[in-house]
């Protein structure tokens, strides 16, 4: 039977930090521990499953391998089976964090590199069709002179004299003995006596790198593209972080995107609006024609099927919605003004039948003032 995704087992996001993972595991362990569910085989299996997920996701190297290869990359090293452990063993790591220590021994100084974010602005056309572009990002890379150790070439880190390499120190307070992280080496068990001149003992240096990013067709504003392993280099042999490219759509001069649909305003003359006609409208693929019926009013929407965008998770293209705006003519000649005045006179003599909306509005206004 195939295993469930470890993140799904613990109910956490894939970018959850170690504290969130431990909190989720503690909650599940309390719920499904065999001591609380004697004879319940299902609870015991749930407990084992949660323990296995916890052990993989709290180990930086195993987590990075799992993120890249899934269960196939960690099955050989995962401690999934075995009998149920006691409450002390189940929560020793959690309580160890509270008091600054764990099960003894020096804390691993390998840390996963930080994730990076890059804001990529693209046009609506690029989002609709997909594109490929190069980006240049600042990042922290392994220092070449010291090979990431932080020590000057020819030297190596020394055992911490404060904790003697254990990474933890014990403090006595009355009847209580508290074990906490060594303040000198920060739990690494070693200190850098001769820092590398290039990285000043950090083991990493700031650099820029150029990456090729493939943007799939249909991406929308706010979508993220994850590039595994292209974040900052890990510390002391830790795995690298990931790069998240966040998509931002630049404003378009004609269209406005709403999901998979596109919207645009189409100005028409009041002559075409009154008498009807045929107009040409732009689309992402070229041009299309719309038949405008007579007596069309401002706000009328014409829908062009499948002239929108096919989203990343969509099966079909959206629509193009054309919003009609009846345009008032400007800079009229004397003759044009005479004709309009003549039209207005004729319309008034014929009664309100040419302006039904105006008549309706006037009736409502009279009713309002009469009240």
Which residue ranges form the domains of the chain, and what is each CATH number? 6-99 (1.10.287.110), 116-249 (2.10.230.10), 256-370 (2.60.260.20)
Given its phi and psi angles, is residue 36 left (phi above 0), alpha (psi -120 to 50 degrees) or beta? alpha
For 139-177, how does the pLDDT look when each residue is reduced to its tens digit (9 = 90+)? 888 888 888 888 888 888 888 888 888 888 877 666 666
Q: With 50 as the cut, is the pLDDT of residue 132 above it?
A: yes
Using an 8 Å Cβ cutoff, are 291 and 268 in contact?
A: no
Extract the runs of DSSP E, i.e. beta strands, from the chain.
116-122, 131-142, 158-159, 168-173, 176-181, 190-191, 204-215, 224-227, 243-249, 256-258, 261-269, 277-283, 286-292, 301-304, 320-327
Beta bridge partners of 261: 258
Q: How far apart are CA 1 and CA 364, in angstroms?
A: 71
User: Residue 352: what pLDDT?
Assistant: 63
Using an 8 Å Cβ cutoff, are 211 and 243 in contact?
A: yes
For 303-350, how does the pLDDT look when each residue is reduced to its tens digit (9 = 90+)? 999 999 999 989 999 999 999 999 988 899 999 999 989 988 887 777
| 319 vs 198, higher pLDDT | 319
Mean pLDDT of 103-124: 76
Hey, is 73 helix, strand or coil?
helix
For 259-297, how does the pLDDT look when each residue is reduced to its tens digit (9 = 90+)? 999 999 999 998 999 999 999 999 999 999 999 999 899
Hey, is 368 helix, strand or coil?
helix
Using an 8 Å Cβ cutoff, are 294 and 307 in contact?
A: no
Q: How far apart are CA 122 and CA 131, in angstroms?
A: 9
Q: CB-hemisphere CA count at 13 Å for 161?
A: 2
* Share above pLDDT 90 across residues of the chain, in percent, rounded to a whole number: 35
Give the pLDDT band of residue 101 (cuts 50, 70, 90): very low
Q: With 50 as the cut, is the pLDDT of residue 103 above it?
A: no
For 5-23, how does the pLDDT look when each residue is reduced to its tens digit (9 = 90+)? 898 999 998 888 888 999 8
């Amino acid at each position: 039977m195939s295993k469930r995704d470890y993140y799904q087992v613990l109910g956490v996001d894939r970018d959850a930090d170690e504290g969130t993972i431990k909190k989720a595991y503690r909650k599940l362990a309390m719920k499904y521990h065999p001591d609380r569910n004697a004879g319940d085989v299902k609870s015991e299996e749930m407990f084992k499953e949660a323990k296995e997920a916890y052990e993989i996701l709290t180990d930086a190297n195993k987590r990075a391998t799992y993120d890249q290869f899934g269960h196939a990359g960690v099955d050989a090293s995962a401690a999934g089976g075995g009998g149920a452990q006691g409450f002390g063993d189940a929560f020793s790591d959690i309580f160890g964090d509270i008091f600054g220590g764990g099960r003894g021994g020096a804390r691993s100084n390998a840390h996963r590199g930080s994730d990076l974010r890059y804001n990529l602005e693209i046009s609506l056309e690029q989002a609709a069709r997909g594109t490929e572009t190069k980006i240049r990002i600042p990042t922290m890379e392994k220092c070449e002179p010291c090979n990431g150790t932080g020590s000057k070439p020819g030297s190596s880190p020394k055992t911490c004299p404060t904790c003697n390499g254990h990474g933890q120190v014990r403090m006595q307070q009355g009847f209580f003995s508290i074990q906490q992280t060594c303040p000198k080496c920060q739990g690494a068990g070693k200190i850098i006596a001769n820092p590398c001149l290039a990285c000043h003992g950090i083991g990493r240096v700031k650099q820029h790198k150029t990456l090729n990013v493939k943007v799939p067709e249909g991406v929308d504003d706010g979508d993220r593209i994850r590039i595994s392993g292209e974040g900052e280099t890990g510390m002391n042999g830790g795995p690298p972080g990931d790069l998240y490219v966040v998509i931002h759509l630049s404003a378009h001069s004609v269209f406005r995107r709403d999901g998979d649909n596109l919207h645009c305003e189409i100005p028409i003359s009041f002559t075409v609006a009154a008498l009807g006609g045929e107009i040409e409208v732009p689309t992402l693929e070229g041009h299309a024609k719309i038949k405008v019926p007579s007596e069309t009013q401002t706000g009328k929407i014409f829908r062009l099927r499948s002239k929108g965008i096919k989203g990343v998770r969509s099966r079909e293209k959206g629509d193009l919605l054309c919003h009609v705006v009846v345009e008032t003519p400007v800079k009229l000649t004397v003759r044009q003004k005479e004709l309009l005045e003549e039209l207005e006179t004729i319309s008034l003599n014929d009664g309100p039948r040419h302006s039904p909306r105006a008549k309706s509005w006037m009736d409502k206004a009279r009713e309002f003032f009469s009240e």
